[in-house]
Amino acid sequence: MDKFWLNAAFYQASFAHGSTGKNPAVGCVIVKNNEIVGIGYTSNGGRPHAEENALKMAGKNALGSTLYITLEPCCLEDNYNSCTNQIINAGVKKVVIGLLDYNKLTLKKGINTLKKNGIEAKLISIDFENFLVNYSHYCFHTLKRPLISVKLANSADGKITYSNGKSKWITSELSRKHVHHVRSYHDAILVGSNTFFKDNPSLTTRVEGFKKSTCRIILDTNLILDKKSKLVKTVKNNPLIIFTNKNLSSTKAKYLISKGIKIFYIKKLADGYLCILSVIKKLYELKFQKILIEGGAKTASSFLNRGYCDLMYIYRANLFVGNEGLHSFSNLKNNRSFFLHDEIKLNDNKLEIWVNKNLKNIYNQII
């Protein structure tokens, strides 16, 4: 039954996706006499943690119970109120853990402290689907970079738009609404200069009940962003970051900075584009754990071709654009590096979720 109850904890974690700030989305279920006495998930902003919420619900019923948690409980030596101490003080008898916390400050400290205090604590194998729930946490603390996803909207014949500007939208209204839910799972949305120059998007997240501001990131080599663009107009409630190769002392840069926009200088490569590795390093320094790339084709390809893409969300429309359409990828080399993980039907459209094969290799190594 351990796996059954741990799966229930992972279900709890799903309620926290996109709302936990820099903390991972964690779920917890407390069971006593084969009945649930407490449930919880990470609160908005990252605190209280899932364990604390579940223990609060369980109350005195936590004594002698089994606690199922998707991620190793936090255990900081100078924090008496750490989740590990709360579990010990509540009299929990057994703790079943899905994944270790790969933050070097706490790695294995939680499980070892529980054992030292007479609590049976163990890791059990989890499904690949559950591994994906906290892969961004592993990626950030082990690979030293954010998880990077790419979102594309394609016609049935693999085109992203009509080259003659015939139609702005390829996919249906339902698919476009679903994109906002995918955005809500990520810390920031990233686009290249062609996308914001041609489409003038706001790149905000519009989901009922979702209160977190969406950070927008643009790769703007030559700093061509229009001062009157939607990105600039919405910066008060939705942060904006620009990566550019232009002088930060220029009049335009100073104006954008005065509006609250953060601008970072990134070196340019021989091909004229910003150095993607430098962009990723800066994203890591800024503590971003989940980035969603929404275009354009060249920007998506620049990450994919360098091996910096973990997931792809491909929305496919039930229509054919034909020869006049623009292809979804620009010079894509690594299209065999992914496998189809899931398909979701959205009326006459569908969403395909593709996963980098490296994630399966990592899963097989650590599970």
116-135 residue pLDDT tens: 999 999 999 999 999 998 89
Marked catalytic residue, from 35, 51, 285, 343:
51
Q: In this structure, how many other beta carbons lie within 10 angstroms of the beta carbon of residue 293? A: 27
- CA 8, chain centre distance (Å): 21
User: Can you give the C-alpha Rg of the chain in angstroms?
Assistant: 22
Please report the pLDDT score of residue 211 as a whole number. 66
Please report the pLDDT score of residue 161 as a whole number. 55
| Spatial distance between the Cα atoms of 198 and 227, rounded to a whole number of angstroms | 15
Task: Dihedral sign for Cα 18, 20, 25, 27, please.
Answer: negative
Please report the pLDDT score of residue 325 as a whole number. 45
User: Is the peptide bond prior to 146 cis by the omega test (within 30 degrees of 0)?
Assistant: no
Please report the pLDDT score of residue 131 as a whole number. 95
Active site residue 51: yes
Please measure the distance between the N-terminal and C-terminal CA atoms of the chain and give it in whole angstroms: 18
Helix extents (H) in 14-117: 50-58, 83-90, 109-116
With contact defined as beta carbons under 8 Å apart, do 74 and 48 qualify?
no
- Nearest by Cα to 28 from 82, 67, 2: 67
Written as tens digits, the pLDDT of the chain (367 aa) is 999 999 999 999 999 988 888 899 999 999 999 999 999 999 998 899 999 999 999 999 999 999 999 999 999 766 668 999 999 999 999 999 999 999 988 899 999 999 999 999 999 999 999 999 889 999 999 999 999 999 988 876 665 555 555 546 677 789 989 999 999 999 999 999 988 888 888 998 887 766 677 899 999 999 999 999 999 999 998 999 999 999 999 999 999 999 999 999 999 998 889 999 999 999 999 999 999 999 888 899 899 989 999 999 999 887 655 555 455 554 444 567 999 999 999 999 999 999 999 999 999 998 8
H helix or E strand, kind and range, residue 293: strand 290-295
Please report the pLDDT score of residue 77 as a whole number. 65
Dihedrals phi, psi of 280, to nearest 5 degrees: -65, -40
Distances (CA, A) of 94 to 34, 236, 313, 357: 13, 47, 38, 35
Task: Dihedral sign for Cα 49, 54, 57, 58, please.
Answer: negative
141 three-state secondary structure: helix
Q: What is the pTM of this model?
A: 0.91
With contact defined as beta carbons under 8 Å apart, do 226 and 203 qualify?
no
Long-range contacts of 40-46 (CB under 8 A, 24+ apart): 40/12, 41/12, 41/13, 41/15, 41/16, 42/13, 42/16, 43/16, 44/19, 44/20, 44/211, 44/212, 45/19, 45/20, 45/21, 46/20, 46/21, 46/22
Instruction: State the Cα angle at 39 between 38 and 45, rounded to 5°.
Output: 135
- Nearest by Cα to 202 from 172, 175, 170, 226: 226
Domains and CATH numbers, the chain: 1-135 (3.40.140.10), 143-366 (3.40.430.10)
